[in-house]
Structure 1
Amino acid sequence: MSTYREFRAEAKKKKRRRAFQRCCLILLIAVLLGGLTWFVVQLAGRVGTAESAPPAPSVSSQAGQSTADAGDPALPSGTAAPGWQGIGPIQQTINNFQIISPDRRMISLPENGRVDLSYFDDATFVGDSITTGWNVYRAADGLLPNARVVAEISTSPPVGGVQWVHNKNAADVYDPMQAIADTVPKKVYVMFGTNMLVNQSEATEDKLISDYSAFIDDLGTRIPGCEVYIQSILIPTAAGTASKPGLNPERINRVNDRLAALAFEKGCHYLNVQEYLCRDGVLNWDIAAKDGIHLNTDGYRAWLDYLATHTAYSAAASYLGGTPYPAAPAQQTPAEAPAGTPAETPVPETSGAPAA
C-alpha cells in the first residue's frame, strides 16, 4: 500500500505534467496568431501599393500614341472621321507579298455585282480562235456589240514583233500589238495557251508563261493604266483531250496556276473562267462545239455571264440592281452642322499693331 508521501509525490508529478502541456499549447497558439497577423499585414500592404500606383498604359494606347507622334496630319475642321460603317473597296497592294504555292482559286477575282454590258464598250478581247468567236456571235446574238476583238486562229501571245495573218489571208498581215493599242482600250481581256499546249513538251509550259509575261509588259508600255484581265485556259471535253493529248486537265490546271501567279505578280486581274465553263472538270457538254475545244453560242452567253459578274471595282461602273459596295457616309462640313450646334466664332486677323 502506497504511503501518503508517495501519493503526494505522484500528484505533484501529474500537476507539473499538466502545466507543461498547457504552456506548450499556449505557445503554439501564440505562434499561429503571430503568423496569421504577419500574413494579414503583408497582404494589406500589397493591396495598398497596387491601388496607389498609376495604371500602366495599354498596348493599344501606346500604339495610338506612337501613331499620333509619327506626324499623321489631323483631319480638317468639320471633316468626319472615317468609321467602320464607311468601309468601301480599297486598292490592293501586292508588292510586299510573294506567292510560294500559287492556286488559281485563291487568286481569282471573286464574284461581284452584275455590271451593265456597257461596261465592255471600252474593252478589247485578245486571243486565239476561241476568242475570235466573239466576232462570230456578237452580231447575230447581240453579244458585246461594241467591244473590239483582236484575235486570230492558231495564235499565241504576240512577242518579239510577231505578225498575225488576218482570217488566214497571207496577204493581210498586221502587227497585233499595234492593233490592240489602236483600239485605245480601258480594259483588255486575254486568253491564250491552247495552241501552244498542243505541244506536249515540258519546255512549252515555260515558254508560254515567258511569252505571256513579255506580252503583259508590252501592253503596260503601250497602254498605260489599262486594266488587264488574264483568263484561265479552258479544259476540253474528253473527246477534245483525246484528239489533243497535250490539253489534258492536269496540265492545264498546272498552267492556270502559273497564269494566276503571273497575274498577281504583274498587277493584273485573274479570271478563273474555267470554274464556270468547266464545272465537271472539263468543258460543259452543252456549251462545247463539236471538236470539244471551242464553244457554241450558249458557251459565249455563259462566258459573258461570268465576265459580267466578275469585274474589278470601278466607281464609274453601272451595276444592275445597284452597286454591291456600301457607300461611305457623306462628310459633314461646318455649314451642314446640325441645328443647335454652336457655331465657331471667327477670329479677326490682326496686323500686329496693338488694339486701341
Structure 2
Amino acid sequence: MPQENRRIYRKDPAQSSAPRRPAPPPPSDNWQGDWVTPPRPNPPRRPAPTPEQRRAAARRTRARRRRRRQLLFAGTVGGILLASGIITILLPKTVKGIDPTAIPAAPDIGSAQLVAPLPYGGSQGSTNVQALNWGAVGPVPQTAETGYTYTPTPEKSIVDVPEFGRVTTAWFADAAFLGDSLTEGFCAAEYGIDVGGALICGYKSISPNTIVNRTTVTSPDRGEEVALDVLTAAQPAKLYLLLGTNALVQTGGEQSFLNYYARMLDELSAALPNTRFFVQSILPATQEAAADMPGLAPDHLRPINEQIRALCAERGMYFLDLNAEFSDENGYLLADYAQPDGVHLKVSGYNKWVSYLCTHTPYSKQNPYQQGSTYYLSEDVKQLLNDIP
C-alpha cells in the first residue's frame, strides 16, 4: 500500500485516561444544573487478628474436625450393627446356631454367685480341650440302614470328667446303672444308698459276654430278665457302667475280655442312641485279696483300664476313673471301703462311690446342684438366666 494512502488512527489521550462514567438519566422537565456523581466511600479496613485470636480460631477448627471424625465413626458402627441385625433376622434358624440347651452356658463372671467357671478353664481362661460340646458327646446312633457298623465318628473325643461341683442325687433320676454284684449293692435295703430313683441293673457274676449274648439274669427287685431288653425299654438319659471284676479274677483271658467289652459297648450304643454313657474303671482288690486274685492286682488292671478308656474315646463316651478315689498309694483297694473278701464294698464304700459320681458330672447350668456347691444356682437365678434371650 502506498505510504500516502495509509491512514494512522490514534487514540485520544483524554479518552484513554479519563474514567468512564455511566450515562446520566435524562433530566426531568424541572431539573436545572449539571449531573454530579456522588463519591464512593472507602470500606473500613479490618484490623489484623491478634495471636490469641489466631490460636482460638485454630482450636475451633480442630474441634470441628474431631466432631466430624466422631460422627463418621459412630455412623460406621451403627451401619455395621444394623447390617448384622438384618442378616441375623434373615438367616434361617439352623444357620444361626445349634440348640442352646446342648451347650453349657458360660459363667457370669460379674457375679460369683451365679455359675461355675468354665470346664478346664485355666488362670488365663485357656482350655486343654478345644471346642468340646458336652451336650453332644455320646454314643453314635446306629440304624438298620447303616448295618450296625459301629464306626466311631472322628469329631467325638473322650475326656475324663473332672470335679465340677456337687449335684444332688436328683441327677440320677433319669439314669440307669449296669454292672455285676458291686452294682447290685445299690439295691440292698440294709445299705439304704440313695441314687435318686435310678434304674439298677445289677446282677451277680455277670461279665460283658452276658450282655452281648443276651443271657437271662436275675434282678433282686424284678426277677429274671435280659439286661439289654430292660435298658432298651427304659431308654435312660444316662447309663453308668461297671463290669469286668468277675472276668478278670484270674489272668490269661484279657484279650477275649476286651473284645467282648468293645462289642458290649457297641450293642448298648445301638440300643440306646440318645443315652450318655459313663464307663467306670474296674476296681482292684485289696492287697491281701490280690494274692489269690492276681487279675485284680493294680499292675494287671492298669493297662486294661487304659484300653477301656481308649474304647470309650473311639465311641465318644465318658470315662470315670474310680481307682483314683478307692485306691491306696500302691494302687490296691482301700481296706476302709472293702468287705472282708477284699472285693465288695461296705456302706462307706457306696457312700464314697455316690459322692464321687455326684462331683464328677459334665457341667451345665441346668444340673440340680446341691446348695452350697460352687456351682449352685438358686431358683431365682435359674429363672433369671432362662429369661435371658
* TM-score under structure 2 length normalisation: 0.56
Unpaired runs of 5+ in structure 2?
1-82, 89-104, 110-116, 120-131, 138-152
Post-superposition offset of 1:98? 11
Match of 2:133 in 1: 91
Report deviation, 1:183: 2.7
2:356 matched to 1:306?
yes
Q: 2:183 is matched with which residue: 123, 128, 131? A: 131
The 3 A distance-change label for structure 1 pair 198 and 75 is farther
Aligned-partner SS, 1:189: strand
Partners of 1:97 and 1:244 in 2: CA distance? 39
Aligned mates of 2:234, 2:179 — CA distance in 1: 15
Give 1:127 deviation, angstroms: 0.6
Q: CA RMSD in A?
A: 3.6
Q: Which residue of 1 aligns with 2:85?
A: 76
1:239 is matched with 288
The C-alpha deviation readout for 1:177-232, integer Å capped at 9, x for no partner, is: 0012223311000001111112311xx22222221221122122212110000000
Q: Output one character per residue of 1:301-347: Cα deviation in whole Å (capped at 9) or x when no partner.
A: 000010000012334311123673999x98999xx9xxxxxxxxxxx
Equivalent residue of 1:133, what SS? helix
Aligned mates of 2:273, 2:106 — CA distance in 1: 34
Separation of aligned partners in 1, 2:172 and 2:275: 13
Aligned mates of 1:330, 1:247 — CA distance in 2: 48
Is 2:197 the counterpart of 1:188? Answer: no
Does the aligned pair in 2 maintain the 1:229–1:268 contact within 8 Å?
yes
Q: CA deviation at 1:113?
A: 1.3
The whole-number CA distance in structure 2 between the counterparts of 1:291 and 1:330 is: 50
Unaligned runs of 5+ in 1: 1-73, 100-105, 337-356
* 1:283 partner amino acid: L
The 5 A counterparts of 1:163-202 are 163-166=215-218, 173-201=224-252
8 A contact 1:115–1:317 mirrored in 2: yes
Shift in alpha-carbon separation, 1:325–1:319, aligned structure 2, 3 A: closer
Q: Which of the numbers 194, 202, 206 marks the counterpart of 1:155?
A: 206
Structure with the larger helix share: 1
Tell me if structure 1 keeps the 8 A contact 2:186–2:193.
no
The one-letter code matched in structure 1 to 2:133 is Q
- Matched residue type, 1:143: D
Can you list the C-alpha shifts for 1:125-160, whole angstroms capped at 9, x where unaligned?
1011111111115x6424215111112111011344
Residue 215 to residue 286, structure 1, CA distance change in 2 (3 Å): same
Q: Structure 1 pair 153/332, CA: closer, same or farther in 2 (3 Å)?
A: closer
Q: Structure 1: how far apart are the matches of 2:303 and 2:246? A: 16
Aligned match of 1:6: none
With over 3 angstroms needed to count, the CA separation of the structure-2 counterparts of 1:252 and 1:97, relative to structure 1, is farther
CA contact (8 A) 2:217 2:227 kept: no
How many residues get paired?
Answer: 247
In structure 2, do the counterparts of structure 1 residues 85 and 207 end up closer, same or farther at CA, with 3 Å as the change threshold?
same
Moved more, 241-250 or 229-238: 241-250
Measure, in 2, the Cα distance between the counterparts of 1:233 and 1:163. 22
Instruction: Give the counterpart of 2:257 among 204, 208, 227.
Output: 208
Larger Rg: 2
CA distance in 2, matches of 1:114, 1:177: 30
